[in-house]
Structure 1
Amino acid sequence: MKQKKVIILYILMLIVGLALLFTKSSPTPVAEPVVQPKVEVEVKEKPKTETMTVAVAKYDINKKTILTKDDYYFKSVEVDIGSNGKSKYIGNADEIDAYVTKNNIAKDTFIESNFIASPNSEDYILLALKEGNYMFPFKLDQFDSYLVKNLKGGDLVDLYVFYSDEELANSNAKNYKESKLVSPSDDFIKNRLKPIIVGKKVLYIDVDDKIDQKFQKNDVGKIQLELSNQEIKLLRTLMTNSKVIMYPSTYDKNIDDGLRLLNDKEKNWPLTDKAIFSKKKQINLLKGN
């Protein structure tokens, strides 16, 4: 009887165990972490820079201005390596001095290469000439080579006539002498210089590649001047039978009417009241008091 109870107890325990085994809840599955794809962040390298010197306008510069060192200054700036800064801007005086402006340039503006035109270029000639003026070539000889070395486009020059007032005996009248103006003069004591046109602008200079140090050539080139029609008539007439000499100007600014000096200072020159050089070609502007 006792053995039956034990067997029944084992059977009950087995049933309870099986019941617990099948009724036990399964563990909650753990979700696997979502792996985000790696996003590669492109790191842009900062562009490397370099320091360069650029020309800057000192003040507002008008179109058709022939530039001098008084019109600009140089400033150091940072530019990206590989940019067109070096070709866009002006880096030294040789690339700007005596160039002419194609447009108005505001004060403190970086002067770009396309803002200006170089001497001897077609744009330069068209821009540098004021309306109503003309380009006139003044031929230089070897003794004028100092002008080539010291002058540039935009500089000013004065023109003088070199002459003397000589007394000549008149064979038709006893002891009667008359004055005759001679140019050039071979009498050092009687040599005179008279200003005829002043404050005129040099457009550009045409020179040979090399100046002949042995003076084998008669000329070294030409200086192209900006002159009015009236100034050209006077100068060209004088050049037919006289010696005209060019010197760096004593004036600071270009003078539109370069003949004006003749009127107010004529009295300072002890000239005769006769027309100079020829009765056939009277030049009233050169007559004395």
Structure 2
Amino acid sequence: MKQKKIIILYILMLVVGLALLFTKSSPEPVAEPIVQQPVQVKEEPKKEEPKTEIITVAVAKRDISKRKILTKDDYYFKSIEVKIGSNDKSKYIGDATEIDAYVAKNNIAKDAFIENSFIASPNSEEYLLLAIKEGNYMFPFKLDQIDSYLLKNLKGGDLVDLYIFYSDDELSKFNTKNYKEDRLVSPSDDFVKNRIKPIIVGKKVLYIDLENKIDQNFQRKEAGQVQLELSNQEIKLLRTLMTNSTVMMYPSTYKQNIDDGLRLLNDKEKKWPLTDKAIFSKKKQLNLLKGN
């Protein structure tokens, strides 16, 4: 009887164990933590604003015609903004030494930027072809050391006047008191009687040659020479006078180039301590020199 009870007890325990085994809920699986991958945001490329710089450029102050030799009255400078690395900096002119006394190769409009390609250097062959007007010639005027101040104060495009240095002497002939002849001497030994007269005025300087040669005494007799633009008649007069007279050059009192530089204005001459007698009258300018 005891054994039957024990067997029944074991069976009950087995049934309860099985019941608990099937009724017990299985533990929920533990979810592994999700590791979020960093999201890579594509950055839009930054638009770099162009880097700029300020440069100075030459600008035409007025309409400039072809063959015009430029002076400070023809241009001015202004500042503009350009991209760094562009060719604008080399294309334009930023210094007065790069434009002053240069010649215009073409017409340049007022307020236009003046480019290097628009002008020609005084040292170039192109300059000479452009600067000389048709029918005129290039004439060298040699300067003594005493005239060296002109080299420091003149430049291409400036105007000069040419004067003759002379005196009006009275020459007695045959020791006759009643006979007196006027004689022009250049120069005269009499300081009181020395005078100067303009012979060619308002002529343009093409360029200046500096004298580098030194003589055997290590002295420079000549300061250099100024290349002038003269007409055929002006050259005839000047060369004739230079054979036996002293001709001097001075900065011009005229503001504009005078095509006919032989024209003499008596009212202008009165500003100098000159004699009232004009060497060349308005009617007879060249006829006084034979061979013209």
Provide the TM-score with structure 1 as the length reference.
0.75
Give me the whole-angstrom Cα distance separating, in 1, the residues matched to 2:116 and 2:278: 54
Match of 1:67 among 70, 73, 79: 70
Moved more, 161-170 or 107-116: 161-170
Instruction: Report if the CA contact (8 A) 1:142-1:215 is conserved.
Output: no
Structure number, greater radius of gyration: 2
The corresponding residue for 1:6 is none
1:158 equivalenced with 2:173 (yes/no)? no
Give me the whole-angstrom Cα distance separating, in 2, the residues matched to 1:120 and 1:75: 27
Counterparts in 2 of 1:108 and 1:285: CA distance versus 1, 3 Å:
farther
Letter in 2 for 1:101: A
Q: Secondary structure at the match of 2:127?
A: helix
Q: Which runs of 5+ in 1 are unaligned?
A: 1-36, 275-281
Counterparts in 2 of 1:48 and 1:116: CA distance versus 1, 3 Å:
same
1:138-149 equivalences under 5 Å are 138-149=141-152
Q: Secondary structure at the match of 2:140?
A: strand
1:181 equivalenced with 2:217 (yes/no)? no
1:88-237 equivalences under 5 Å are 88-170=91-173, 172-175=174-177, 176-208=179-211, 216-237=219-240
TM-superposed CA distance for 1:209, in Å, is 5.9
Q: Which runs of 5+ in 2 are unaligned?
A: 1-39
**Structure 1, residues 198-217: CA drift from partner, whole Å, max 9, x if none?**
011111111136999x9932
Letter in 1 for 2:207: Y
Instruction: Report if the CA contact (8 A) 2:211-2:222 is conserved.
Output: no
Give me the whole-angstrom Cα distance separating, in 1, the residues matched to 2:167 and 2:197: 10
Q: Secondary structure at the match of 1:158?
A: strand
Counterparts in 2 of 1:234 and 1:180: CA distance versus 1, 3 Å:
same
Instruction: Report if the CA contact (8 A) 2:171-2:183 is conserved.
Output: yes
1:83 equivalenced with 2:86 (yes/no)? yes
Give me the whole-angstrom Cα distance separating, in 2, the residues matched to 1:215 and 1:72: 42
Instruction: Report if the CA contact (8 A) 2:166-2:194 is conserved.
Output: yes
Give the root-mean-square deviation of aligned CA atoms.
Answer: 3.2
Instruction: Report if the CA contact (8 A) 2:197-2:279 is conserved.
Output: no
1:17-56 equivalences under 5 Å are 41-56=44-59
TM-superposed CA distance for 1:179, in Å, is 2.6
Instruction: Give identity over the alignment, percent.
Output: 75
Give me the whole-angstrom Cα distance separating, in 1, the residues matched to 2:84 and 2:221: 50
TM-superposed CA distance for 1:63, in Å, is 0.8
Counterparts in 2 of 1:240 and 1:273: CA distance versus 1, 3 Å:
closer
Provide the TM-score with structure 2 as the length reference.
0.75
**Structure 1, residues 116-141: CA drift from partner, whole Å, max 9, x if none?**
00102101000001111111111111
Aligned length: 244
TM-superposed CA distance for 1:196, in Å, is 0.4
Match of 2:251 among 248, 271, 275: 248
Letter in 1 for 2:192: I
